[in-house]
Amino acid sequence: MFPSAVDHSAAPVTEELSDRLRLLHRLKSSRRLSQLLAAPLSDEDQVVQPMDDASPTKWHLAHTTWFYETFLLKPHCPGYREYSPDFAYCFNSYYESHGKRQARNRRGLLTRPSVDEVRGYRAHVDEALERMFVSGFINDRLDGPAAIVELGINHEQQHQELLLTDVLCLFDAQPLHPAYRTPAPCRDQTHHGDGAAFIEFPGGIFPVGFSGAGFCYDNEGPRHDALLQPFRLAHRCVTNAEWLAFMDDGGYRDPLLWLADGWSAINVNGWDAPGYWRQRDGDWHQMTLEGLVPVRLAAPVAHVSYYEANAFANWAGKRLPTEFEWEVASTGVGMAGNDLGTGHMRPQPAPVGAEGELTQMFGDVWEWTSSAYLPYPGYRAAPGALGEYNGKFMVSQNVLRGGSCVTPPGHIRRTYRNFFYPHQRWQFTGVRLAEDVA
């Protein structure tokens, strides 16, 4: 287990607490979690950038702090003193309306400010955030500035997941294959199953998208109707054992299984296995946050691109689900799963004997869908700089659903739309198969 990283017990939360104090508690817990996730790392670990898509830990810690300073404290907290005018250039991500910034692929060159200075930056901003609550600028109506706090909490949770996946990418590039943490207990690995069972769902017109109270990102709405044909969905994710069968059958060598761009990607990149896999003495191992370990055959395959997921589905005679099939099928499925709160930090095998019900829908791996990341009917981006959060990325990417083994607790929703480019695979991305009903 990794209990310290998911401990939210700094202060008891009871029904008697006001909404404002509950929000403050969640804010402080979220800010503390980021520091705890960085704690096992040396200062040297926190500066290096292993590839263009992965950012240094120091940058994640500073960027999430810049977010609060830029969108909440400077415009809404009278008398707030900016920590450093230079930090906006260093730690802005993609907010064009907030000026020029360090290029994404050069974040690892930021040896200054130091990791210690970033810690001081976080402490400075955290103190100001608490003052906003104490002084009454955050009220019990939870509108205005409070809505930005809520967005900031969810934004930082996204970066907590990225922090861990980027550390995994960094440690995979190290010749010593260091472990981020000591191994945690896992489910029995002796049962590999007899293949996934496919559960049938009827066709029809179904409401999809977020509704009700609570937080959601703007890309999860507006709620609208979607037409689905009858379909079947695998009861669990594709396993490492099944992926090995695909590899052994020449799956990475058969151009007929691949989209043209996918065939190009595997040849340009030399892919012949999932990300972080390598052979040692004839056996497959994979790099994990627990170091380089033998592949667990019963666990869900992870770190595969959309191209690989689609090729596997073709090889299996199936297809990938649409995001709306996934959402409708998940209705009524409990959202408890193997996320960061379990402390495993690795995908876990499906429970034995669960063939008659959907499992692993939440946690373990983000599941590729065949759906392009596009706006829902009636979608409008929010005004101002915060409107850059999601809408401008709605092109050339695919939607993933469900969450992963390093998604922070409470961050997953059944309407949550993650999205990546089809060649990307450094995240915990996996596969669940679907098929049409004849």
Give dist(CA 5, CA 224) in Å, integer: 37
Lowest mean pLDDT, pick from 24-38, 105-119, 153-167, 339-353:
339-353
**Residue 13 pLDDT class (50, 70, 90 cuts):** very low
- Residue 357, pLDDT > 60, answer yes
Q: Comparing 5-9, 130-134, 357-361, which segment has the lowest mean pLDDT?
A: 5-9
Handedness of CA 258, 262, 263, 267 (dihedral sign): negative
Tell me the C-alpha distance between 428 and 301, whole Å: 9
pLDDT at 264 over 80: yes
Assign 3-class secondary structure to the chain. Answer: CCHHHHCCCCCCCCCCCCHHHHHHHHHHHHHHHHHHHHCCCCCCCCCCCCCCCCCCHHHHHHHHHHHHHHHHHHHHCCCCCCCCCCHHHHHCCCCHHHCCCCCHHHHHHCCCCCHHHHHHHHHHHHHHHHHHHHHCCCCCCCCCHHHHHHHHHHHHHHHHHHHHHHHHHHHHCCCCCCCCCCCCCCCCCCCCCCCCCEEEECCEEEEECCCCCCCCCHHHCCCEEEEECCEEEECCCCEHHHHHHHHHCCHHHCHHHCCHHHHHHHHHHCCCCCCCEEEECCEEEEEECCEEEECCCCCECCCCCHHHHHHHHHHHCCECCCHHHHHHHHCCCCCCCECHHHCCCCCCCCCCCCCCCCCCCCECCEEEEEEECCCCCCCCCCCCHHHHCCHHHCCCCEEEECCCCCCCCCCCCCCCCEEECCCCCCCCEECCCEEECC
Per-residue pLDDT at 138:
81
Type of residue numbered 382: A
- Say which range, 97-101, 189-193, 209-213, has the weakest mean pLDDT: 189-193
Summarize the confidence of residues 291-299 as an average pLDDT.
Answer: 97
pLDDT for 386: 82
Distance (Å, rounded) from C-alpha 347 to C-alpha 406?
Answer: 9
- pLDDT given for residue 345 in this prediction: 97
Would you say residue 96 has pLDDT above 80?
A: yes
| Position 137 confidence tier, pLDDT thresholds 50, 70, 90 | confident
Residue 50 has φ and ψ, to the nearest 5°, of -80, -25
For residue 6, is pLDDT > 70? Answer: no
Q: What is the pLDDT of residue 8?
A: 39
pLDDT for 384: 81
Half-sphere exposure in the Cβ direction for 105 (13 Å, CA): 2
Mean pLDDT within 295-301: 97
Tokens of 24: 């403050």
In a 13 Å sphere around the CA of 250, the CA atoms on its Cβ side amount to 4
Q: Give the pLDDT band (50/70/90) at residue 16.
A: low
Of 282 and 386, the structure prediction assigns the larger pLDDT to 282
Q: Which of 301, 300, 258, 297 is nearest to 423 (CA)?
A: 258
101 has a pLDDT exceeding 60: yes
Identify the residue whose tokens are 């000026």: 99
Q: Whole-model pTM?
A: 0.94
Report the distance separating Cα 48 and Cα 158, nearest Å: 20
Note the pLDDT of residue 183.
Answer: 84
Question: What is the pLDDT at residue 383?
Answer: 84
User: Do 389 and 217 contact (CB within 8 A), yes or no?
Assistant: yes
Ramachandran bin of 347, using left for φ above 0, alpha for ψ from -120 to 50, beta for the remaining angles = beta
Question: What pLDDT is attached to residue 152?
Answer: 97
Using DSSP bridges, classify how beta strands 434-436 and 231-234 pair: parallel, antiparallel or unpaired. antiparallel
**Residue 25 pLDDT greater than 70, yes or no:** yes
Joined tokens for residue 198: 């496919």
pLDDT at 11 > cutoff 60: no
In the prediction, which pLDDT does 19 show?
Answer: 87
Can you give the pLDDT at residue 410?
A: 95
Q: For the chain, what is the mean pLDDT? A: 93
By CB atoms closer than 10 A (0-12, 13-18, 19+), residue 119 is middle
**Per-residue model confidence as pLDDT tens digits over 46-73:** 999 999 999 999 999 999 999 999 999 9
Q: β-strand 224-228 against 204-208: which pairing, if any?
A: antiparallel
Q: Name the residue among 66, 1, 2 with its Cα closest to residue 37.
A: 2
Q: Over 60: is that where the pLDDT of 12 sits? A: no
User: Which pLDDT score is estimated for 382?
Assistant: 84
- Of 194 and 174, which is predicted with more confidence? 174
* pLDDT value, residue 142: 63
Checking if the pLDDT of 7 tops 60, the result is no
